[in-house]
Amino acid sequence: MNRLPHNEIVALARQLPILQSMEKQEFIDWLVDSPRIYDAFRNFALEALSKGRTRFSAYMIRERVRWYTNIEYGGQFKISNNVTPYMSRLLALENPVLEKVFARKEVEREEMEPYTQASLFKHTPCHTS
């Protein structure tokens, strides 16, 4: 699977339908400053997919990134809970094969308008059983 250069990923992030422009800018600023975190998120998601998982949570991937960056790698990288939904949506834009993989909830501040890949942003019920 082809991986986009980080500057193209940041440009793709600008297409995310985040209602609050300040919140969008904060996410983009975080993304610019955190290419290793996004790369790890992508790698772990693709690894889960390659092992046959067809549905998984962005939060599960985020926690694995936290473990990897803090325990295995020994770094002090931070990953906010607030960026997780946007990372999963960005990753699905970058890799359309992941569009239906992430179990996702509507983000409260998300603007629900038609986009080129509008299905990425539709609410998917979360099963709690």
Q: What digits encode the pLDDT tens for the residues 51-95? A: 988 888 889 999 999 888 887 777 766 778 888 888 888 998 888
Please, are residues 103 and 126 in contact by the beta-carbon 8 Å criterion? yes
Q: Which residues contact 24 (CB under 8 A, 6 or more apart)?
A: 14, 16, 18
pLDDT digits (tens, 9 = 90+) for 25-49: 888 888 998 888 899 999 999 999 9
Q: Supply the pLDDT for residue 103.
A: 65
Distance separating alpha carbons of residues 74 and 71, to the nearest angstrom: 5
pTM of the model: 0.70
